[in-house]
C-alpha cells in the first residue's frame, strides 16, 4: 500500500507499507529505486546502513514491529525500514507495519524536526528509540509477572515464557546495536549533512536515547539469564530431594521384605507354628520400617545437626568459662 502525504512544503512523503509485488514494481519503475535495494529492505535480517546512489540517498534502519503482527505477545521483534531521500520527496518502504510510521502518519509527535528530509530520518530514528524503550519496560514487567507465577507453578509454561522474553531481548538488542552503528556513521559521514544546529542537537539526543535502550536491554538480559540459572538450580535441587525421598521409601520397604523372606525359608524357625506368628511378624516389620525411615530421614539428620551445634555451643561456653577462671 503506497500513500502520498504532504509532510512539509519542502518535500513529499511517500509512505509504502505492507508492500506487495505490485507496489514493488511501482517503486522500481515510477520512483527509480533499484531492485537490489528493495530486496535488501524486504530482508527481515538486514542490518542498518546508509548508501549513496546517483539519484538518491538510501537508509535502512530497524524499527519495532507492530504489536498486532506478533503471534506471541511476549515476543517483540524489529523490521527493516527503507528510507530513500530524493531532492523533492522522501520514500519509506516497510514490508510490515509499525507504530513509528503510524505516529508520523497521524502527526502524533512533538518537537521533531520533520521540516527537512534529513530531519525526517532523525525523527524516525528518535521515535524508534523511544518505542524500543517502552517495549523494553513492558517486557521487564512481563518478566516479573512470569517469575511470580513460576514460584507457584511446577509446569514448564513459565520457563518457556521466559525463553520467549529472552528471545525478544536478543532481537531488540541486535536491532538497537545496528541502529547505533548507523547513527555513528551519520555523525561522521560527509554525504549526510544536517541543516542547522537544532538537527545536530536532536541527533545527539537520538544517540543518547538509543544508548539508553541498549543499556536497558543488556541489563534486562543479564538479569533474566541469572534468574533462569537460579530457577534451573532450584529445579535440580528439588529433583534431588524427590530422588532422596524415593530412595528412603525403597530402603524402608526392603527391610520388611528381608524379614518376611527370612521367615519364608523352608527350615524350622521357633515360633512359626503359632497362630499369632503372622501378627508378630507384621508388627515387627512395621516397627522396623518406622525406625529405619526415621533414621535415614531428613528430620533425623536435622535433629542430629541441631544436637551437634548445641554441643559445640556448650563446649564453647565451657572453654570460655575456663579461660575466665584462669585469668
Task: Please state the domain extents for the chain.
Answer: 2-236, 237-326
Comparing CA positions, the residue from 184, 240, 190, 229 lying closest to residue 207 is 184
- Mean pLDDT over 33-53 rounds to 87
Distance of CA 198 to the CA centre of its chain: 37
69 pLDDT band, cuts 50/70/90, is very low
Mean pLDDT of the chain: 79
Whether residue 109 contacts residue 103, with contact meaning beta carbons closer than 8 Å, is answered with yes
Q: Which three cell numbers stand for residue 325?
A: 577462671
Q: Which three cell numbers stand for residue 81?
A: 525500514
214 pLDDT band, cuts 50/70/90, is very high
Q: Is the pLDDT of residue 303 over 60?
A: no
What contacts 248, CB < 8 A, 6 or more positions away? 293, 296, 297
Half-sphere exposure of 249 (CA within 13 A, CB side): 6
Residue-level pLDDT at 313: 67
Comparing CA positions, the residue from 68, 128, 67 lying closest to residue 92 is 128
Total-model pTM: 0.72
Whether residue 91 contacts residue 2, with contact meaning beta carbons closer than 8 Å, is answered with no
Residue-level pLDDT at 77: 84
Thinking of the domain 2-236, which architecture would CATH place it in?
A: 2-Layer Sandwich (3.30)
Q: pLDDT tens for residues 127-186?
A: 899 999 999 998 888 888 887 777 766 566 777 888 888 888 888 999 999 999 999 888
- Mean pLDDT over 191-217 rounds to 88
Q: pLDDT tens for residues 222-232?
A: 888 888 787 77
- Mean pLDDT over 27-44 rounds to 86
Amino acid at each position: 500500500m503506497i500513500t502520498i502525504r504532504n509532510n512539509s512544503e519542502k518535500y513529499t512523503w511517500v509512505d509504502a507499507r505492507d508492500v506487495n509485488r505490485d507496489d514493488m514494481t511501482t517503486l522500481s519503475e515510477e520512483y527509480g529505486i533499484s531492485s537490489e535495494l528493495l530486496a535488501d529492505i524486504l530482508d527481515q535480517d538486514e542490518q542498518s546502513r546508509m548508501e549513496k546512489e546517483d539519484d538518491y540517498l538510501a537508509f535502512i534502519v530497524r524499527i519495532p514491529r507492530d504489536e498486532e503482527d506478533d503471534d506471541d505477545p511476549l515476543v517483540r521483534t524489529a523490521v527493516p525500514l527503507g528510507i530513500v531521500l530524493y531532492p523533492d520527496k522522501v520514500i519509506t518502504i516497510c514490508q510490515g507495519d509499525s507504530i513509528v510510521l503510524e505516529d508520523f502518519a497521524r502527526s502524533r509527535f512533538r518537537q521533531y524536526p520533520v521540516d527537512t528530509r534529513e530531519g525526517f530520518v532523525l525523527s524516525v530514528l528518535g521515535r524508534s528509540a523511544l518505542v524500543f524503550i517502552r517495549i523494553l519496560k513492558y517486557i521487564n514487567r512481563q518478566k516479573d509477572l512470569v517469575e511470580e507465577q513460576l514460584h507457584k507453578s511446577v509446569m514448564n509454561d513459565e520457563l518457556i515464557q521466559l525463553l520467549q522474553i529472552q528471545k525478544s531481548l536478543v532481537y531488540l538488542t541486535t536491532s538497537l546495536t545496528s541502529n547505533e552503528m548507523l547513527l555513528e556513521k551519520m555523525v561522521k559521514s560527509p554525504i549526510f549533512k544536517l541543516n542547522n544546529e537544532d538537527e545536530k542537537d536532536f541527533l545527539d539526543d537520538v544517540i543518547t536515547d538509543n544508548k539508553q535502550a541498549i543499556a536497558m536491554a543488556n541489563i534486562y538480559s543479564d538479569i533474566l539469564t541469572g534468574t533462569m540459572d537460579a530457577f534451573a538450580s532450584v529445579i535440580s535441587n528439588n529433583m534431588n530431594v524427590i530422588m532422596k525421598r524415593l530412595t528412603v521409601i525403597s530402603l524402608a520397604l526392603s527391610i520388611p521384605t528381608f524379614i518376611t523372606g527370612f521367615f519364608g525359608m523352608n527350615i524350622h524357625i521357633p515360633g512359626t507354628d503359632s497362630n499369632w506368628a503372622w501378627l508378630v511378624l507384621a508388627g515387627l516389620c512395621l516397627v522396623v520400617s518406622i525406625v529405619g525411615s526415621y533414621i535415614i530421614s531428613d528430620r533425623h539428620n536435622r535433629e542430629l545437626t541441631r544436637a551437634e551445634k548445641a554441643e559445640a555451643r556448650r563446649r564453647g561456653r565451657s572453654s570460655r568459662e575456663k579461660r575466665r577462671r584462669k585469668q
